[in-house]
Structure 1
Amino acid sequence: MEDFITVAIFNYPHEITILKHLLTDSGIVYFFENETMSSIVPMYSQAFGGIKLKVHPNDLETVTEILDQFNRNNHLKIV
């Protein structure tokens, strides 16, 4: 996992829930750095540097496409 690179950074755990399903369905190996600490103490997320999506460089292109599509088609809003 030391070869994994940061592709995106999120502030809150709820922002990554759907993204986890999209990545898993695509067969991408990933992990979110700082996810547990941000779940325990959400207000410290920025102090930890946010929740970082880490993927292998070989999956970078696929993950970038998934993120772009997710951002374009994300009609879910938190009220």
Structure 2
Amino acid sequence: MDWWRKECKRLEIRERQLHRWGATLEQVEELLEEYGKLRIALEKQNMHWASMIVGMNAEPILYWRMALEDERRKQQEQNPV
């Protein structure tokens, strides 16, 4: 198995764990950052097709982050400091 596929699998497992345990916005952002680092490493090696696959895997996490941001914003509006 290619190194990048192993890394993708590790990130997918991490994502499932975060879903199961209930992730914070910060944890989701860290996961996205790890996907971004993997994409950069693949691009540097001219593995554009692999980078696209990693990007497609990360796309649902972007929506997850947006939902968590909306939830946080609503909580702040309801309970202003």
- TM score, norm. by length of structure 1: 0.30
Q: From the two aligned structures, give the one with the greater helix fraction.
A: 2
Comparing both chains, which one has the higher relative contact order based on Cα–Cα distances under 8 Å and sequence gaps of 6 or more?
Answer: 1
Q: Structure 2 length normalisation: TM-score?
A: 0.29
